[in-house]
A and B are shown apart, each in its own frame.
Chain A
Amino acid sequence: MSQLTFARAINAGLRKALDNDPKVVLMGEDIGKLGGVFRVTDGLQKDFGTHRVVDTPLAESGIIGTAVGLAYRGYRPVCEIQFDGFIYPAFDQIVSQVAKMHYRTQGTVKMPITIRVPFGGGIGSPEHHSESPEAYFTHTSGLRVVSVSNPQDAYTMIQQAIASDDPVLYFEPKRRYHDKGEVDEALALDRALPMGSARVAAGGSDVTLVAYGPLVKTALDAALAAADEGVSIEVIDLRSLAPVDYPTVEASVRKTGRLVITHEAAQSGGLGAEIAASITERCFNYLEAAPVRVTGFDVPYPYSKLEMHHLPDLDRILDGVDRALGRPNSLSGLEG
Chain B
Amino acid sequence: MLTDEAGRGANQATEPANNVQNPRRTGGDLVQLLSPSGERISHPEFDLWISDVSDEQLCSFYEDMVVIRRIDAEATALQRQGELALWPPLLGQEATQIGSGRALRSDDFVFPTYRDNGVAYCRGVPVPDLVRAWRGNALFGWDPYRYNIATQQIMIGSQSLHATGYAMGIQDDGADSVAVAFFGDGATSEGDVNEAMVFAASFQAPVVFICQNNHWAISEPVLLQSHVQLADRASGFGIPSMRVDGNDVLAVLSATRIALDRARKGGGPTFIEALTYRMGPHTTADDPTRYRDPNELEDWAAKDPIARLRALLDRKGLLSDELEARVKARADAVAAELRNGCINMPEPAPLDVFKHVYSEENSWIERQKDHYTRYLESFSGSAQEGAH
- Would you call A267 an interface residue if the criterion is a C-beta within 8 Å of the partner chain's C-beta atoms? no
- A75 neighbours in B (Cβ, 8 Å): 169, 172
- B170 neighbours in A (Cβ, 8 Å): 73
User: Are B151 and A59 in touch, CB under 8 angstroms?
Assistant: no
Name which of A100-108, A114-122, A292-300 contacts chain B. A100-108
- A103 neighbours in B (Cβ, 8 Å): 139, 356-357
- Would you call B363 an interface residue if the criterion is a C-beta within 8 Å of the partner chain's C-beta atoms? yes
- A66 neighbours in B (Cβ, 8 Å): 161-162, 164-165, 168, 196, 199
User: Are B192 and A65 in touch, CB under 8 angstroms?
Assistant: yes
Contact with A along B167-196 (1 / 0, CB 8 A): 111111100000100000000000110011
* Bound Cα distance from A25 to B173, whole angstroms: 12
- B155 neighbours in A (Cβ, 8 Å): 92, 96-97
Given A92-B155, A243-B362, is A69 in contact with B169 using a C-beta cutoff of 8 Å?
yes
Given A65-B165, A69-B166, A72-B150, is A106 in contact with B195 using a C-beta cutoff of 8 Å?
no
Contact with B along A52-71 (1 / 0, CB 8 A): 00001101011011111111
Contact with A along B245-258 (1 / 0, CB 8 A): 00000000000000
User: Are A65 and B151 in touch, CB under 8 angstroms?
Assistant: no
- Would you call B126 an interface residue if the criterion is a C-beta within 8 Å of the partner chain's C-beta atoms? no
* Bound Cα distance from A243 to B362, whole angstroms: 7
- Would you call B202 an interface residue if the criterion is a C-beta within 8 Å of the partner chain's C-beta atoms? yes
User: Are B162 and A65 in touch, CB under 8 angstroms?
Assistant: yes
User: Are A69 and B164 in touch, CB under 8 angstroms?
Assistant: yes
User: Are A69 and B163 in touch, CB under 8 angstroms?
Assistant: yes
- Would you call B144 an interface residue if the criterion is a C-beta within 8 Å of the partner chain's C-beta atoms? yes
User: Are B358 and A144 in touch, CB under 8 angstroms?
Assistant: yes
- Would you call B198 an interface residue if the criterion is a C-beta within 8 Å of the partner chain's C-beta atoms? yes
User: Are A62 and B199 in touch, CB under 8 angstroms?
Assistant: yes
User: Are B140 and A72 in touch, CB under 8 angstroms?
Assistant: no
Contact with A along B131-171 (1 / 0, CB 8 A): 00000001110011100001100010010111111111111
Contact with A along B328-364 (1 / 0, CB 8 A): 0000000000000000000000000001111110111
User: Are A69 and B165 in touch, CB under 8 angstroms?
Assistant: yes
User: Are B364 and A242 in touch, CB under 8 angstroms?
Assistant: yes
- A51 neighbours in B (Cβ, 8 Å): 171-172
* Bound Cα distance from A141 to B355, whole angstroms: 12
B371 CB, min distance to chain A CBs, angstroms: 11
- Would you call A245 an interface residue if the criterion is a C-beta within 8 Å of the partner chain's C-beta atoms? yes
* Bound Cα distance from A164 to B360, whole angstroms: 8
* Bound Cα distance from A64 to B168, whole angstroms: 13
Among B27-66, those with CB < 8 Å from A are none
User: Are A142 and B357 in touch, CB under 8 angstroms?
Assistant: yes
User: Are A70 and B202 in touch, CB under 8 angstroms?
Assistant: no
Contact with B along A80-110 (1 / 0, CB 8 A): 0000000001001100110011111111111
* Bound Cα distance from A101 to B5, whole angstroms: 40
State the total of A-B contacts with C-beta under 8 angstroms: 141
Residue on A nearest B166 in the bound complex, by CB:
A69
Given A68-B161, A93-B161, A103-B139, is A196 in contact with B363 using a C-beta cutoff of 8 Å?
yes
- B145 neighbours in A (Cβ, 8 Å): 108-109
Residue on A nearest B133 in the bound complex, by CB:
A104
For A, the interface residue count at a CB cutoff of 8 angstroms equals: 48
- B165 neighbours in A (Cβ, 8 Å): 65-73, 77
- B179 neighbours in A (Cβ, 8 Å): 69
User: Are A57 and B202 in touch, CB under 8 angstroms?
Assistant: yes
User: Are A110 and B359 in touch, CB under 8 angstroms?
Assistant: yes
- Residue from A65, A166, A196 within 8 A of B161 (CB atoms): A65
Contact with A along B228-250 (1 / 0, CB 8 A): 00000000000000000000000
A28 CB, min distance to chain B CBs, angstroms: 13
B contact patch SS: helix
- Residue from B139, B355, B364 within 8 A of A243 (CB atoms): B364
- B164 neighbours in A (Cβ, 8 Å): 65-66, 69
* Bound Cα distance from A100 to B363, whole angstroms: 18
- Would you call A74 an interface residue if the criterion is a C-beta within 8 Å of the partner chain's C-beta atoms? yes
User: Are B199 and A108 in touch, CB under 8 angstroms?
Assistant: no
B216 CB, min distance to chain A CBs, angstroms: 23
Greatest chain A CB density within 10 A among B170, B192, B358 is at B358
* Bound Cα distance from A102 to B360, whole angstroms: 11
User: Are A166 and B358 in touch, CB under 8 angstroms?
Assistant: yes
- A245 neighbours in B (Cβ, 8 Å): 363
Contact with B along A142-158 (1 / 0, CB 8 A): 10100000000000000
* Bound Cα distance from A93 to B155, whole angstroms: 10
Residue on A nearest B200 in the bound complex, by CB:
A66
- Would you call A165 an interface residue if the criterion is a C-beta within 8 Å of the partner chain's C-beta atoms? yes
User: Are B173 and A166 in touch, CB under 8 angstroms?
Assistant: no
- A284 neighbours in B (Cβ, 8 Å): none
- Would you call A38 an interface residue if the criterion is a C-beta within 8 Å of the partner chain's C-beta atoms? no
Greatest chain B CB density within 10 A among A61, A62, A64, A105 is at A62
Contact with A along B103-119 (1 / 0, CB 8 A): 00000010100000000
Contact with B along A184-213 (1 / 0, CB 8 A): 000000000000100000000000000000
User: Are A69 and B161 in touch, CB under 8 angstroms?
Assistant: yes
- B357 neighbours in A (Cβ, 8 Å): 102-103, 141-142
- B356 neighbours in A (Cβ, 8 Å): 102-103, 105-107
Contact with B along A36-62 (1 / 0, CB 8 A): 000000000000000100001101011
User: Are B172 and A246 in touch, CB under 8 angstroms?
Assistant: no
User: Are A105 and B144 in touch, CB under 8 angstroms?
Assistant: yes
Contact with A along B196-234 (1 / 0, CB 8 A): 101100100000000000000000000000000000000
B172 CB, min distance to chain A CBs, angstroms: 5
* Bound Cα distance from A45 to B364, whole angstroms: 38
- A62 neighbours in B (Cβ, 8 Å): 161, 192, 195-196, 198-199
Residue on B nearest A52 in the bound complex, by CB:
B172
- B198 neighbours in A (Cβ, 8 Å): 57, 59, 62
Given A96-B155, A196-B363, A243-B364, is A57 in contact with B139 using a C-beta cutoff of 8 Å?
no
Q: 16 interchain pairs (CB within 8 A)?
A: A59-B191, A69-B162, A69-B165, A69-B166, A69-B179, A72-B144, A73-B166, A73-B170, A97-B155, A102-B357, A104-B151, A105-B151, A109-B150, A166-B360, A243-B363, A244-B364
5 more contacts with CB within 8 A, not counting A61-B191, A104-B139, A165-B359, are A75-B172, A105-B144, A106-B138, A243-B362, A244-B364
Chain B interfacial positions (CB closer than 8 Å to A): 109, 111, 138-140, 143-145, 150-151, 155, 158, 160-173, 179, 191-192, 195-196, 198-199, 202, 355-360, 362-365
CB-based closest 8 A-B pairs = A69-B165, A65-B161, A73-B169, A66-B165, A62-B195, A69-B166, A107-B356, A69-B162
